A and B are shown apart, each in its own frame.
Chain A
Amino acid sequence: MAEVPWHDPGVDDREIVQAVLDGDRDAFRHLVEREQVAVYRACLRVLGRPHDAEDVAQESFVIAYRSLGSYRGEGPLGGWLMRIATRQAFRRLGRRRDAAEISAAETLAARDADPLAASLAGERQRAVRTAVAALPEPYRETVALRFFGDLALEEISRITRRPVNTVKTHLRRGLQRMRAQLDGEVRA
């Protein structure tokens, strides 16, 4: 697991927001370049399809740009953006459900050389993704922000304005529900 910090700590979030609100689009580009990998990955983890992930990540940046005036500085800007992105991704997933689940050929694991291993890995990925998506709120959001968005509990607490212990409880309960679903799928 790479321990690469994906946020540049050298630039204050509020400075970026202020600059964008003052009409400096380059400041927004800076934000996009800084956050694109994290946002894209979070979307990919929810959706499972690179093309969709890119689409939703782009949409999320546009939404963030439009509503930047509502960012109140609670929590990091990257976390705020991540929340928008995961919400958008789950929304897209909800619209897509009826269009059948992702085929094995489209999953990331399918790029593996061994077709059987790829198939099994793809199946497991799908199961994990489905289990997270099936969680009710606020468990889904908490699990997604923690494991798909790589946010720390304290960061989730700040952007959702929930106490850390509440976030922790949501995470626990979310994982409990996921476990039940994953075990049920294995049995089936």
Chain B
Amino acid sequence: VTRRPFDPDEIGARDGARDPELERTAAELISYRDLTAELPAAGFADRVMAAVEREPAPGRGLLAWLRGATAWQQPLRAAALAAVVVLAVGGALVAGEISGIIRQGPTGSSASPVVTLTPSPVPSAEPTEPASETPEPSESPGTLEPSPSPTSEPTERPTETPRATPSPRPSGSGGEHETQTPQPSPSSSGSDG
């Protein structure tokens, strides 16, 4: 980098026409620049280096590391690159295997993986927490029944069940209460709001 004086052609139009107003602005900037051509205080570099000393060694980006290489480092870097590629491919394969196993799980036999997987998307779509709580306490004893219910029904019901939260009274509800609990909840919420 070398310091270059300003050339009015730098701001000339493409057809070569010059704009005196722009040149006047540039002249003001140059005048300002020359007025501020000062030096930093003595010892500035020392202070910078003192601050740098407190820093950990600079990190080296992987690509930069792989790219910038002297001749003798090339084989080492090539090996490192190969290792990274192998790890990435291997990781992808393992991830694929795992996801395949998980997908096959529910069709096979065990219901437990289904329970762990299906509820998680449902609460994320429906931001209310009580929805996830109300079905579980009522149906908690059964290990087989909860798994179908979160997968199919809660997508519609949770919008209503949260309103049932202000009325925790219907605790003595039976198995069919899923159809009935929504009814008191709108009335109670309507009275609140």
Contacts and interface: CB of A to CB of B under 8 A. Distances in A.
Interface residues of B, number: 46
Given A68-B58, A171-B11, A58 B44 contact: yes
A108 B29 CA distance: 15
A9 B6 CA distance: 21
A147 B3 contact: no
Interface in A1-53: 1-7, 9, 14, 17-18, 20-21, 23, 25, 28-29, 32-33, 36-37, 40-41, 44-45, 50, 53
Contact of B58 (A3, A21, A79): A21
B79 interface: no
Contacts, number: 151
Nearest to B14: A165
- Ranked 8 nearest A-B pairs via Cβ: A69-B60, A40-B40, A147-B29, A76-B1, A152-B4, A78-B1, A68-B58, A7-B1
Interface of B: 1-6, 10-11, 13, 19, 21-22, 24-26, 28-30, 32-41, 44-45, 47-49, 51-53, 55, 57-61, 64-65, 67-68
21 contacts: A4-B3, A21-B60, A28-B49, A37-B39, A44-B36, A44-B38, A45-B36, A61-B51, A61-B52, A62-B48, A62-B52, A69-B64, A69-B65, A72-B67, A79-B1, A108-B38, A151-B1, A175-B11, A175-B22, A176-B21, A182-B28
Given A18-B68, A58-B44, 13 more contacts: A21-B60, A23-B57, A33-B45, A53-B40, A57-B44, A62-B51, A69-B59, A72-B67, A121-B35, A125-B35, A128-B28, A151-B1, A175-B25
